[in-house]
Chain A
Amino acid sequence: MTNSKTRTKRMSVIAGISVVVLLISACSIQIKSEPDPSIPDDTMLIAADKGSPMFEKIFNPYLFNKRIAASYIYEPLTAVNVLDGTQTPWLAEKVALTDARTIDYTIRRGVTWSDGEKFTPDDVAFTFNLIKKYPTLDIKGAWQHIESVETDGDHVIVHLKDDDAPAADVISLTLIVPEHIWKDVEHPDTWRDEDPVGTGPFTLGNFSSQQYTLDKNQNYWQADKVQIQHLVLPAATSELDIVTKGFDWAYSFMSNVEGTWGAANPDNKNWFPPGGVISLVPNLDKAPWDNVDLRRGIALALDKDKIADAATEEYMSKAGQTGLMLPNQKSELNPEIPNSGVIEQNTDAALASLAKAGYTLVNGTLVDANGKPFTFSVTTANGYTDWLRAIQEVRKQLSAIGIDVTIKQPQPAGYQQAIQNGDYEVAMGGMGGGNVFQAYNSLLSSEFHVKNGELAPSNFERYSDPQTDALLAEYKATIDPAKQLEISHQLQQIVYDQLPVIGLYYGGLWGLYNTSKFTGWPTAEDPYAPPQTYDSSPLLIFTKLKLATKDGE
């Protein structure tokens, strides 16, 4: 008996030591990137599409479950750089607004489908009529704006329902499909399109449920600009995979990016431009948040630098109250708004504004007129860790002026339901991003305003103001860029003064790329496209990248 006890003891000691050794060795292990040597220099390994955990073969570009690469195969009329809203003519050679309710697309000649058929204006008209006939395919909502579509030689004329000039930006993004194939599809709304035929830079190569490849479309209309010969998209794109498997391009937030992605390979680079303003979204239909002095008081009480640092590990900076993304949208900024729209922390001013709203600091607690302590809850989605860290910082800072903040974290679906139905006091949310008009319209238009308990499509904070509505209508009616800018300035002023939402920091677009095989990536100096692997950005990037080995030419 004694014998076995000593043995037991000895063995637990050994086990304990081995665990400690294991942990120590784990700490000192530096993960290195080890690219698969069988991947040639003209082939890009890209972490764009995540399997769940396998890939389903769906290339129908209008299904929300499509494979990401469907947008490398099908192309829109114009490609947009969502960083500053610049449109690059794509399948349309020219987009002109005849007036505020007529868009005239001059369709590019000399484009062919990947099966050799000629691309024509009829394909464009067919596409629009297809997504009209099957509204479930109209994923961007083009027919909310369109009255009718007609072709005229090389032109496709889109008539709008109303004065609605900014609608062109939405309509132009429609991905165009070939009439000669899609006209025979019986149920395009459930069709998987396993053999996609598009006009884009790539065609589908091998497909397996864990990896697929795309090959360069040799007949591409910009074939001379595309130097990448093949793309490889694996289904396994966890952070460890991205760091260790030698990816050339990935889109992913990575904690301590220099120490992980950056340290794995000397050519690993990252660029995180702003993609939207992460904000506190107060429920304006719920007292006391209808009071602008309260909202301003809260905005003044917050140190947004600290919030940005806490939420994004110092990768992103604090955001202004205009909803614009700086520096990319700098040309849009109203010069009369002080400090580029950033509301700096000023506790005295905050307390003064809160006092105006009827709240005073008594014994370190902020109380209302009846002496009741002021508390509120912030709703965020479970698992959005940057948002959670931001709220925790907000809670810390507000407790310094006697406000007790509680945090609610339902699952993403529950969060979505809460903000849509107005079932919250203050929520985390985004504003801005992409097209300036669309951003302000969805944020402010009372067209989307509904009471709490009813489902709001956007304008979750439930803002409604006739003067703002008039400005938005005026914007829709003009095709003069100078006039649009002037209205944009006024809208910025409104968001700055009224604080329908309280801007905190920029949400990032998490671009990771490697320069050993390909050069010409978008950077802060040359922000021609955001580094995202979805929507139309990849088209802009694929036509710009050069093979590193060809640099000397």
Chain B
Amino acid sequence: MAFVLRKIGLFLLTLWAAVTLNFLLPRMMPGSPTDAAIAKLAQNGPVTDATRKAIEAQLGVPDGNIFEQYLGYLHQVITLDFGVSYTFYPQSVSEMIWQAFPYTVILVGFVTIIAFVLGTLIGVLTAWKRNTWLDALPTLTGSFASTFPYFWTALLLLFFAGYVFHLFPTSGAFGPTASPAMTWEFFVDVLYHAALPALTILITSLGGWIIGMRNAMINTLGDDYVTFAEANGLKGRTVAIRYAARNAILPNLTGFGLALGGVVGGSVLVEQVFGYPGIGYLLFNAVIGQDYPLMQALFLMITVSVLIANFLVDIMYGVLDPRTRR
């Protein structure tokens, strides 16, 4: 119990630090939200003083000194009311996030889980069958694919599968004439549009899981208790899964916690390339537009979800590995 309490205390302290940093960081960027809006307008022609004032008034740009702003912000965090977005005025921040959230969670979340499960299983397999083609093929292709940066894979897939061969749509989360509804057609449409971004994430992240699991597995397979289990005449699969894999999975599980927390942040680059209306794209817009309210809410979501994911992994570690409970 003391273990759990200690973890909760640490969690709360980190949470406060993250929340405060989250407030300070956007304000250290040069320029104000009005400047960002004007810079955008100025590309279409000269912007007058009057326009500036009108935009300032429309946005209701931050007032009060930094301390007052901080208190207001803390109040927002507690009540989960982040006010009106600057870049998407007059819409509220929560409205924007609720719109984007499902797409990212479905796309990135789903793919991350698939990649983890698939990668870990393949990792176990490659380690168990090491130095056969069952090892070489996944390990090689995995490490080859994971060295590609996200956006490069994304661009290649977009260009060839989307623009050249017209296999998949090139942007959006659903067809231009579809409207979100709880129908089978819409669901299929969403899956069709998610295919390329999902494939990108899968291709680039699968290799990491395979190799991580394989290496941990190979280490464990050399341990005495595995040899002992084998010597006792246990079945190969039982030894691999129940004995070796259970211990080898620990480092991968940490990675999974981090990745799962990162899901909420979306995949900024992938969503950007595929024009996918998720949290990652929203975050990009918020940063470009110096949209403090939206940025604060998004970064808060991201940090909190990473913290929670790590907290859960910590607890899970305690269950899987009794040594860490001490």
Could you tell me which A residues sit within 8 Å of B by CB distance?
1, 4, 7-8, 11-12, 15, 22, 26, 29, 31, 51-54, 56, 58, 63-65, 82, 135-142, 144, 170, 189-190, 192, 206, 208-211, 234-236, 238, 240-241, 244, 275-276, 381, 410-418, 420, 430, 433-434, 438-439, 442, 448, 457-458, 532, 534-535
Known: A4-B131, A26-B159, A236-B170. A208 touches B31 (CB 8 A): no
Known: A4-B131, A208-B176, A416-B38. A448 touches B31 (CB 8 A): no
Find B54's partner among A136, A209, A381, A418 (CB 8 Å cutoff). A136
Whether A140 contacts B46 by the Cβ 8 Å rule is no
Additional A-B contacts beyond A64-B54, A64-B58, A170-B48 (8; CB < 8 A): A31-B164, A137-B54, A138-B50, A141-B49, A208-B177, A234-B176, A236-B275, A413-B30
For A56, list chain B residues within 8 Å (CB). Answer: 88, 91
For B171, list chain A residues within 8 Å (CB). Answer: 53, 235-236, 238, 241
Whether A411 contacts B89 by the Cβ 8 Å rule is no
For B48, list chain A residues within 8 Å (CB). Answer: 140-141, 170, 438, 442, 457-458
Smallest CB gap from B95: residue in A: A56
Q: A51–B31 Cα gap in the complex (Å)?
A: 24
How many residues belonging to B are interface residues under a CB distance threshold of 8 Å?
61
Known: A8-B136, A238-B171. A141 touches B54 (CB 8 A): yes
For B318, list chain A residues within 8 Å (CB). Answer: none
Smallest CB gap from B169: residue in A: A236
Find A413's partner among B39, B52, B133 (CB 8 Å cutoff). B39
| Closest Cβ–Cβ distance, residue B158 to chain A (whole Å) | 8
Smallest CB gap from A51: residue in B: B275
Q: A1–B132 Cα gap in the complex (Å)?
A: 9
For A53, list chain B residues within 8 Å (CB). Answer: 171-172, 275-277, 281
Whether B144 contacts A15 by the Cβ 8 Å rule is yes
Find B35's partner among A11, A241, A416 (CB 8 Å cutoff). A416
For A63, list chain B residues within 8 Å (CB). Answer: 58, 89-90
For A82, list chain B residues within 8 Å (CB). Answer: 45
Smallest CB gap from B54: residue in A: A139
Q: A265–B130 Cα gap in the complex (Å)?
A: 54
Whether B275 contacts A8 by the Cβ 8 Å rule is no
Whether A189 contacts B58 by the Cβ 8 Å rule is yes
B55 on interface, CB distance cutoff 8 Å: yes
Whether B89 contacts A29 by the Cβ 8 Å rule is no
Chain A to chain B contacts (Cβ below 8 Å), 6 pairs: A4-B132, A8-B140, A65-B90, A140-B51, A236-B176, A244-B163
B44 on interface, CB distance cutoff 8 Å: yes
CB-contacts of B166-217 with A (<8 A): 170-172, 174-179
Find B40's partner among A190, A412, A430, A434 (CB 8 Å cutoff). A412
CB-contacts of B85-136 with A (<8 A): 87-91, 99, 131-133, 135-136
For B179, list chain A residues within 8 Å (CB). Answer: 208
For B172, list chain A residues within 8 Å (CB). Answer: 53-54, 210, 235-236
Q: A235–B178 Cα gap in the complex (Å)?
A: 13
Whether B58 contacts A238 by the Cβ 8 Å rule is no
Q: A415–B276 Cα gap in the complex (Å)?
A: 29
Whether B176 contacts A52 by the Cβ 8 Å rule is no
B268 on interface, CB distance cutoff 8 Å: no
| Closest Cβ–Cβ distance, residue A380 to chain B (whole Å) | 12
Whether A457 contacts B49 by the Cβ 8 Å rule is yes
Q: A142–B49 Cα gap in the complex (Å)?
A: 11
Whether A418 contacts B30 by the Cβ 8 Å rule is yes
For B29, list chain A residues within 8 Å (CB). Answer: 411, 413-414
Whether B136 contacts A141 by the Cβ 8 Å rule is no
Known: A53-B275, A417-B32. A412 touches B131 (CB 8 A): no
Whether A416 contacts B39 by the Cβ 8 Å rule is yes
Known: A7-B136, A11-B136, A65-B89. A415 touches B31 (CB 8 A): yes
Known: A63-B90, A236-B171, A241-B170. A276 touches B30 (CB 8 A): no
Whether B54 contacts A414 by the Cβ 8 Å rule is no
Q: A15–B290 Cα gap in the complex (Å)?
A: 43
